Structure 1
């Protein structure tokens, strides 16, 4: 990490595994490694985006989960580099990059690791507002699950919260269909993953051919959600083999999705709810320099 002597650590000390004690420990490790680190705690949703914008071209360490990283990358200066302190629930991007989940080892990786450039996905809503995502966009079923997982439930149950809420949505909610246009085809689905990387929900795989560096998005389509409970498909998921081996999947640079019949279809980006269809998704190649 030559030439990098200032860093900003952004995280919510009142959230989950993130605490002021952990943030201070990270700052101390970085300073022992020759990096002057400031702690900028967040106080409200989207505050991490504001703080990342103010950090300018310094190293910005996102301390938290994929939601915190998502906020940070949406405010990051184009000359800044991202460091990751994985203190979230699933830590999908950290796992994808091979970053240790141990706080001290992750800090040393920030000090000693290499900088790589990864692709980012970009979602664009009907109003023309765009938002970046690092790992995936989810349309339909899983976005409905995300809406059910309140911060309190997530804090108490951690990863179990998503499994429990998934069953609740499956049993009690109407899951409307939508249309996905990609690769010159139109398909109906009730659940779609627009993947920038292979991992989903932690160390599960959704998309076998997805890569953070190939300049494409892999779209995995689930026409009927009940198929996910079929024994062979459930075994694939639980054994952490790619869902794309069992479901239709296509690798493309751009995707468009629209509701059918006036239904309201939610979207999530990196595990955080972000609006409803219609929406388009594209890849921004080599957009993010990140330490791993």
Structure 2
């Protein structure tokens, strides 16, 4: 396997790439042709380009892309698309390039890829290959988070038309509609020989540094060998609303040492009654569940000044 430096040099020199865009995503359908023309204008040799309209075809398309011989597989779409691309590209020699075309673009924000399309392509041209961690929900790799509680219900209920119109605000709007019928859970997190118990409507385990398009804390990233477990509020519904607003507005000021964050390398999660789990916005079984890390599992094209541990 080539070193990251050698792969970076090969991408800069040859610019051999494959483009895969989920045109079912919020902006993918509108921006596919623009992304393709911009990549060609930036000097990339596109071995192939794919417009994927049906999500069930995304994995097989990404497999074709990674086996194409291209040094760089460029994935365009939202967090679900990028998470799928990360799973398909984990432990591969070629690198994943990101075009953030979704609603919240959490993973792109975590690895500091600009949300603006032209700036994201500039990162592909001028950036470097870095290694980042993936989380493991059971045996399912993930880029951003595991959610237990209300978020799993929201992900199943958020209407696609609302997501297209309201963007990232579609999720809190749907959550508010579901909240008053939601029951709190007893959640137990076991990690580092200790047991932590919560009564809450929602618990997240994050791998990256962003959730809902906002910073979780100012010192979390996707290459720190840490998972961040945290409940959002207690058993009261208004506490959930208050803590959601607090997290959204103060995340950039908080640190991993603050309550209620638990930063660990691995944990066991269980609930008083089995609860559905969502992983990066997709249903993924139910509790109990082991959640761990796959360190340095993914090669990503990131800004040239990125720290690479």
TM-score interval, smaller chain = 0.7 to 0.9
Deviations 1:172-201 (A, max 9, x none): 222433322222222333322211122111
CA shift for structure 1 position 81: 0.5
Q: Which residue of 2 aligns with 1:163?
A: 172
Answering whether residue 77 of structure 2 is matched by residue 67 of structure 1, we say no
SS at match of 1:220: strand
The change in CA–CA distance for 1:175 and 1:224 in structure 2 (over 3 A counts) is closer
Structure 2 unaligned residues grouped into runs of 5+: 1-7, 303-309
SS at match of 1:99: coil
CA shift for structure 1 position 28: 2.4
The change in CA–CA distance for 1:236 and 1:82 in structure 2 (over 3 A counts) is closer
Query: Mapping of 1:216-231 within 5 angstroms?
Result: 216-222=226-232, 223-224=234-235, 226=237, 227-230=239-242
Answering whether residue 156 of structure 2 is matched by residue 122 of structure 1, we say no
Deviations 1:6-54 (A, max 9, x none): 21211222432112x6223222222233322222122433432222222
CA shift for structure 1 position 228: 3.0
Give 2:263's match in structure 1, choosing from 243, 251, 265: 251
CA contact (8 A) 1:206 1:244 kept: no
Q: Which residue of 2 aligns with 1:3?
A: 10
Query: Mapping of 1:1-292 within 5 angstroms?
Result: 1-4=8-11, 5-19=15-29, 22-37=31-46, 38-55=48-65, 56=67, 58=70, 59-76=72-89, 78-124=92-138, 130-189=139-198, 190=200, 191-202=202-213, 204-222=214-232, 223-224=234-235, 226=237, 227-230=239-242, 234-235=245-246, 237-240=248-251, 241-242=253-254, 247-260=259-272, 263-292=273-302
Q: How many angstroms apart in 1 are the aligned matches of 2:143 and 2:18?
A: 20
Q: How many angstroms apart in 1 are the aligned matches of 2:183 and 2:53?
A: 35
TM-score (norm 2): 0.82
- The structure with more helix, counted as a fraction of residues: 2
The change in CA–CA distance for 1:280 and 1:207 in structure 2 (over 3 A counts) is farther
Structure 1 unaligned residues grouped into runs of 5+: 125-129
CA contact (8 A) 2:110 2:221 kept: no
Q: How many angstroms apart in 1 are the aligned matches of 2:217 and 2:136?
A: 18
Q: How many angstroms apart in 2 are the aligned matches of 1:176 and 1:282?
A: 22
Deviations 1:216-270 (A, max 9, x none): 212113443532334x87445334444967642222111111231xx34121222
RMSD of the TM alignment (CA)? Answer: 2.3
Q: How many angstroms apart in 1 are the aligned matches of 2:137 and 2:179?
A: 26
CA contact (8 A) 1:183 1:250 kept: no
Q: Which residue of 1 aligns with 2:5?
A: none
The change in CA–CA distance for 1:84 and 1:266 in structure 2 (over 3 A counts) is same
The change in CA–CA distance for 1:30 and 1:229 in structure 2 (over 3 A counts) is closer
The change in CA–CA distance for 1:154 and 1:245 in structure 2 (over 3 A counts) is farther
